[in-house]
Amino acid sequence: MDTITIPTASDMHIHLRQGSLMSMVTPAVQEGGVSICYVMPNLQPPVSNTEMALAYKAELEKLAPKVTFLMSLYLNPSLTPEEIRKAAKAGVRGVKSYPRGVTTNSESGIESYDIYYPVFKAMEEEGMVLNLHGEIPSDAEKNVCVMNAEEKFLNHLKDIHLAFPKLKIILEHATTEAAVNMVKSLGETVGCTITVHHLQLVVDDWAGKCHNFCKPVAKYPSDRAALRNVIKEGHPRFFLGTDSAPHPSHKKEGPEACAGVFTTPLVLPYLATILESFGALDRLKGFACDFGREFYEVKNEKWVGQVTLTRESWTTPQSYSFGGAGIEVEQGDVVPFMAGKPLAWKISKIE
């Protein structure tokens, strides 16, 4: 098989940033073969109400008019059931939860879920989605660190699901066998996103390698195998959410590397190459195109095109530049995932 034709993909977890970085990243969504994406709200300041979400969406649509942007709010103490109902009527699709301090711009994250139960109830009634960053904060006294923070979070997912069985919940960017097993054990309203990079990386690939460092971190080979296997079986509640999170290279290569891997411009070439490597190329359409749209019950998408991928050996670019002249405009470059490494598939046509 030398060509593959599938619908444009759905990326149900993406970071599109702000300012000049946003101006580079957002048009690259379609370039990577994606026509609909679920946008994360962890900006500065966070997207915490309906007006902010709609204003951000308008900015994105100017940069990529054909792409459908599903917007989210940042779970925070000022969010009320009334705001949830207002957001739902305005088309905001969900609410993202960040535990305090575990990833980029999560300083306003939560410490306890119980106080948000009235918000979750309103979300359940309005058909909104709860997106969970599934980690608890590191705590040396409790033996919690980046390697076990996801597994120790999973009971929170179960508790929320049991309390609100009709609320659609997504465990975002799963990295562990325990997470896969937990999601599979729960009801049909619980889904899970898997990133491109977590299908390729294990702990040895990011330790000391700043451009592969992300949160949650890649774990053990057995965990990667569990992610790959659930895709190979075609489980419909596991779908693509790239968690593509660009940072300027100087913020990745400094003494404290920012967490995030950038995959947006090459989503489908990455996926086709990686899925083929473990015998799952036949699952590309379901995982990348169908299952996410079905879980989110997508309606009235602006545009769904056709992407043709051609078998061709080529090399991932070393970097993508952003920004322009002038001291007031941030500028620099972003190093993509697998920079300088070979890919086996290339997009030859999007129509």
* pLDDT for res 102: 57
Give pLDDT tens digits for 246-272. 999 999 998 999 999 999 999 999 999
On the question of pLDDT at 307 being above 90, the answer is yes
> For 117-129, what is the mean pLDDT?
98
The closest of 206, 204, 320, 201 to 264, measured between CA atoms, is 320
Average pLDDT, the chain: 95
Q: What's the token pair of residue 296?
A: 């989110």
Residue 329's pLDDT band, with cuts at 50, 70 and 90, is confident
Question: Taking the model in full, what pTM does it have?
Answer: 0.96
d(CA 265, CA 227): 23
What pLDDT, on a 0 to 100 scale, did the predictor assign at position 112? 79
- The answer, yes or no, to whether residue 107 has pLDDT greater than 90, is no
Q: Is the pLDDT of residue 283 over 60?
A: yes
Average pLDDT over residues 314-324: 95
Report the sign of the C-alpha dihedral through residues 194, 180, 212, 348, in that order: negative
Rg of the chain taking only CA atoms, in angstroms: 19
pLDDT tier at 279 (50, 70, 90 boundaries)? very high
Predicted confidence at residue 52, as pLDDT, reads 98
Q: What angle do CA 298, 244, 48 make, to 5 degrees?
A: 65
For residues 90-124, one letter each, b for 16 or more C-beta atoms within 10 angstroms of the residue's C-beta and e for the rest, the string is eebbbbbbbbeebbbbbebbbeebeebeebbebbb
Q: What percent of the chain has pLDDT over 90?
A: 92
pLDDT at position 103, please?
Answer: 58
Q: What is the pLDDT of residue 325?
A: 64
pLDDT score for 207:
95
At 194-222, the pLDDT tens digits run 999 999 999 999 999 999 999 999 999 99
- What's residue 142's pLDDT? 94
- H or E stretch covering 158: helix 154-163
What's the pLDDT at 304? 97
Residue type, 300: N
